[in-house]
Amino acid sequence: MEIKEINILGEKYTIDESKELENKDGQCDWTTKEIKICNTLLIGGEGKLKNLELYKNSVIRHEIIHAILHESGIDTINHMHNEETIDWIARIFPKMLKIFKELDVEN
């Protein structure tokens, strides 16, 4: 499986979807600039979710948002950097982007 490279606010991160993780489907390590995605999607897998590609994309967005918050220096602000906020942003962002694109105001 290919390891993707992505620039996140000026820092080069890698996204590796072939990792074996324990008790989580994604992990963002800002010290090594690595985003790891569990190859078996433990939490959403095992028949719990039918569309694993959609779920994997949401996991990747979740971990990227962790990286963005860290690189923007607000990862230490607890009310901004908690799992619920990260999940909300990961879920709402595609819908927000669709609205912005429809209005041609995404830039």
* Contact residues: Zn ion, CB under 5 A: 83, 86
> Of 6, 53, 10, nearest to 34 (Cα)?
6
What distance lies between CA 91 and its chain's CA centroid?
10
Between 38 and 86, whose beta carbon lies closer to Zn ion?
Answer: 86
E-state strands within 1-107: 3-8, 11-19, 26-29, 34-38
Least distance from Zn ion to the Cβ atom of residue 62, Å? 6
**Tokens read off for 22:** 């324990």
Least distance from Zn ion to the Cβ atom of residue 64, Å? 11
Between 91 and 101, whose beta carbon lies closer to Zn ion?
Answer: 91
Contact call for residues 52 and 59 (beta carbons, < 8 A)? no
Between 35 and 86, whose beta carbon lies closer to Zn ion?
Answer: 86
Least distance from Zn ion to the Cβ atom of residue 66, Å? 6
